[in-house]
Amino acid sequence: MANIGFCVTISGRDKEKNKRIKNARENIFHLKNIPFPSSIQVADSFENIGGQDVYLFAIPTNFLRSTFEKSSMSFSKNASFISVIKGIEYTSLEFPSEILKDIFPQINDENLAVLSGPNFAREVAEKKPTATTIASKNEELVKKLINLFSSDLFRSYGNIDIKGVELSGALKNIYAIAVGISDGLGIGHNARSALITRGMAEIMRLGKEVGANPETFLGLSGYGDLILTCTGDLSRNRNVGLYLGQGKDYHQYLEENGSIAEGVFTVQSIMKMARKYMVEMPVATEVYRIIYEQKNVHDSLKTLLQREPKDEFY
């Protein structure tokens, strides 16, 4: 947005980090060596951001409720809200859009949208061509936002299926970990392709139960984001999987990289959701067992390959 002339104010949960980012004029923690345009301002805290036309939330799911529940943040009367958050809250099994509506009385289906797609932040910041999906139950809001979030290098497409877009954005991180494990084991491109495809089968199976539109999973926020996150070297979730596939654990990844990938948390929520809807998700189950039950990655591979034969579209 800042690159196409809009005034943007940003802030984060950590006030000390906000100060360091403000002084450096770049995100020294996650997007080093990409200076901010002059149109970007950094606020010391969320409470100092007011009077905006559009608010975009990018807080990790596990910290979203705790960050804002006691916040005194106020919004302009006719503001629009966008979530780019990927995940599912474990305790409630709510998606980020639902959590935002819980927290803020002003946020509702008419002024809320979600943005999700094959969008590595660094490539967007480096002004590389990107496409994304913006979904809202309010079709007029979708039209407004896809025009707002479009430029010569950033193309937005509209959708009204918030649930499908958020489900895709959350689950693709789990299968990126699975593909990372496969690549870490060095078992080939055939295995990688199979995991991506069967991962999407699991996403669609669960999506059907929660009322998502099947076509959503074939779009940018579905297969587009899944393929990128599973194969792109900038993917934190894929890199966690590489660590696991090489015989390490995610604690080592955390020590070396400073932040854990969203899929590590999301797989807990998905196991709970799969039980709730009685949906079979064998690949996600093995990722969970490797991370939280320390199951050997070779044993998980054997479990998947030795499952009872079934119809492909079961």
Catalytic residues: 172
* Cβ pair 281, 206 in contact under 8 A: yes
Dihedral Cα 144, 146, 147, 148, nearest 10 deg: 80
Write down the H helix ranges in the chain: 15-24, 61-68, 96-103, 121-125, 139-148, 162-185, 189-210, 225-231, 236-245, 250-257, 262-277, 282-292, 297-305
Residue 177 gets which letter from DSSP?
A: H
User: In angstroms, rounded to a whole number, what is the distance separating the alpha carbons of residues 298 and 296?
Assistant: 5
Could you give phi then psi for residue 235, rounded to 5 degrees? -80, 115
Which residues face 83 on adjacent strands? 57, 114
User: In angstroms, rounded to a whole number, what is the distance separating the alpha carbons of residues 128 and 229?
Assistant: 17
User: In angstroms, rounded to a whole number, what is the distance separating the alpha carbons of residues 192 and 88?
Assistant: 25
Strands 130-135 and 112-116: antiparallel
